[in-house]
Structure 1
Amino acid sequence: MTDLETTFLRTAITEVLPDLPEVTKDILEETLQSLGVETYDDFQFIEESDLLSALRPIQARKVLAAWKRKCQTPETSSSSVSASPVPPATLRHSSPGSSQSSSSSSSKSPDIDWVDTFLIPWDKFPEELMQFLEREKRPSPRMRREMIRILVNEMMRKCSCPSKRNSTEVAKKLVAKYPKSLQDIIEGDVVGPGYHSLVKQLQYRIENVKRSTTPKIRKRKHCTDDSDTDEIPPEQRAAIQDTYGCVNWDVKFLPLEETPESQQEKKEKLKMMSRNNDANLEEVKSLMKLTFYTQRKQVNQGENIKYLLEEWPFWFNELGMAVHFKELTGIGLKETFTRNLEVKGKRLLNYFSSVGVNKNKKFMEAVTKCKVMREQASSCSEDVKEMLLLLLSYFNEKEDAMFHYVEDTCLAEEVDMDKVNLTPTLVAC
């Protein structure tokens, strides 16, 4: 979306509803962008239900009436009527064969505009759920999951691979019909456009349904028919592993200039460099990239963490982890995390300090404590600490569920693992 288009949409909104809060204008602008509005002529195709995720019914009707008055002129009406004329000759000379090929070609691509005519299967939803929706009550997580399952089944009948845009359109229809029951609300305030959580649930369900048909990578080959034993080595018992979001999970070939011997030499060199505090970081990065093939082979063979720590010590520090993650997923770990922290982290902290602070006395004390700590230090790492602590407090979780505190002088090998939670835990000094 260019600056010109953004200005055009904001101007169109402000002309009709000048007193609308800036946050609501942002949400409405995002909604119009997602609908594909690019010119004033596009406004005539918008319906009231398209705007109910951002506006109240009266506001929606008001802007629609104003926009349609502005774009509906005799010229636009005539141009829309005469658009894409069908030559009569084509109709006269069309044969049964051509109509069959036409219908068959259209049936090959059923997902082009299916979402525009998709009807929410209200009649298939459980009676209990419909009672909650009609009475403007929030459905329980169980009822919501059941609703998502039914929706995805219906969506995948229309299209075998619904996109995020498709899920967004379906979520908008749900929220427009029952905003009180389904809109994203925290402490009485609508979060974002109000339908993101539904979109995510739909996408997760679609991914789960598709998982059984998604190609997977085998960790071992099938046994041959002439195998003379039924015994399978322990390292070969795991048959299939999902690749999830990885783009380079199972590397098939060594780099052209590499051999097994050269890989071993580089591996030993990395071990030696890990013992030196002044190791050349660029060289470490290069060696980690070149030995990625061997690293993945050992991981996919099911080697345990202790063995991998001994064989690939750089994996367990920031540089080596970042290099391996980039090769594995194609995503820069630190850069992506920092970028999201800048955008979403600041927004979250601002919410906690302005709106969330009114939740209860305990949370207010947590926010005040974090502010005192921030006066002593201010950095990206401080943002992360504050977010984690405030998220735990906001959802009434205990700190020891995520953190295990030790003395400042405690070394990694001195941590008493019997006292550490079995769930993922951060050991903090």
Structure 2
Amino acid sequence: MEIEEELTSLLPTLDREKIICIVEHLTDVIGVQQKSDLLFVEAEDLKPFLTPIQIRKLLLAFKGDGNRPENLNDTITLEPCPAASAETSSHPPHPSSSTSTTMYNHYSSSWVSHLQIPWERFPLRLSHAITRGDRAHPEDRRSMVRIVVEAMQVHCTNPKRASCEEVAKIIVNRYPQTFADFTDKGERLGCGHYSLLRSIKSRVEHVNRDNTTHRLRQTKRTRNEEDCSPNSSATSPKKVRCLVDSYGCINWQPVDLPEGETPASLEEKKHILLTVFNSEGPGAVERPDVDDFMCLTYISQRQLINSCPSLSVAEIQEQWPFLFTQKGLSNHFYKLTGIDISERLGQALITKGRRIINYFSSQKLKWNLGIRTLIQQIESEGVLTNNKVGTAAILLMMKYYKEDEDSLFVLADETSTRMSLEAESNLPITPRLIMLGQSLMTTTCWMVSAEGRVIVELDKENTFADAMSVFFGSFYVLNLEYQESACATLELIQRFFVRINPEEGTKCTSKVGTSRRTGTIVKRKMIHGPCFLDIYTRRTTMKTSSLAILQDAVSVQ
């Protein structure tokens, strides 16, 4: 592959596994399709994989340094969409938008940079709403989408989703008060443009529903054809956790050692931590010196966790046992994402959890038998007056998404121990929150398991919010993917409660799933974009309920 060869020639000391990881990231996530596309790669795209010096070397080589002509036109010509028309828009730009973003500087879809959004054709009522900064009326919004898609089709008859997203970004960034996604509390939902993107893409699919000549998808190939393809390789590396672990992180792999520290000094601190743990147990995590040493050795912890191929959870725990405590994991999550998981999730489970319960309770007759039964149980136990709000809200959402409770939780006897659970409960490989009690709603003690063993035991004074913080944080700290059977609920926790909204992708990359209707194994419906689980208002099109977007929430076939 020419991209792999290019990287190997520019960084010959880099091991092949890391180069393969970088190539897959550039092609699958960034959108690099050929060698000339490397010209548009930026430093942010390579941060998770390389040191600053390595990144600068690559960027310098990509942009010239004698290997490429200085003139961009000598190296790459931005071609329009194959089905593009040679015509230009017949509508001149509106005078008031002469300084608008009509030329969008994004090279992944060249025609988008030449797209002129016909602001002057928008309905008069919508133009007034834009001027006043009001929300768009649903009818005007639909008219606007039709006009925009018509303008897009002048350049490309069947725009891809990435191109539709670029256009949605332009519109929302210019007039966020009118078109962006907000909650009823005024909080911006994720990227803010997901609902508009969905409307634009739906309109594109609608107008092309009978036009097979403009479909961009490749002919489906059978497995035998793929196996016989000269481009297929029997030795292609298996994708591991390290390919998706930077998702939503701000400090995934630091490169600079702490001031005054060397690799030898960090290794010495690691041995001290192991000695303290072996002599005093997990309770020693409260010692100030242990806290300081765990902070200083963060870079070493990330290097081990991010190693490629990745280590098992047991191997990581053997070398960093203090990481598998509530405090150790929460502190690591804070350095990794910049979020105090215990505080944020604890508050959100109470405030947003109440709103979820109130919503479902207010429309009790609308729901299926499972949800109605759970609502009756919640009301009979007086959940809204105690600390069971978070548990009730999560269980309600699992019922709504048709996800089984045991895909997240394991109910066990309150007298169970770590050893008895590992020996008798047949714990799943994917993470679970073990609930010790008579029922999920009455549990007062928790553990967290992964890879078939208990990895964290919480103290009896901890709450459900503490347990959920450790459980959810383990996916990020240990680079674990969401299990397909609970991916919708986990994405809800991530985006709605914890408010981590990456621009692209998901932490569940499974290509198959269980149908919610038939129970059979089917191909998963992959939902792209950052907000497909925003369950609060989409005020641009709906105003009747604070949870109306539930009707459009993610579903896995």
Q: TM-score, normalization: structure 2?
A: 0.38
Higher RCO (Cα < 8 Å, 6 or more apart): 2
More helix by share: 1
Q: TM-score, normalization: structure 1?
A: 0.48
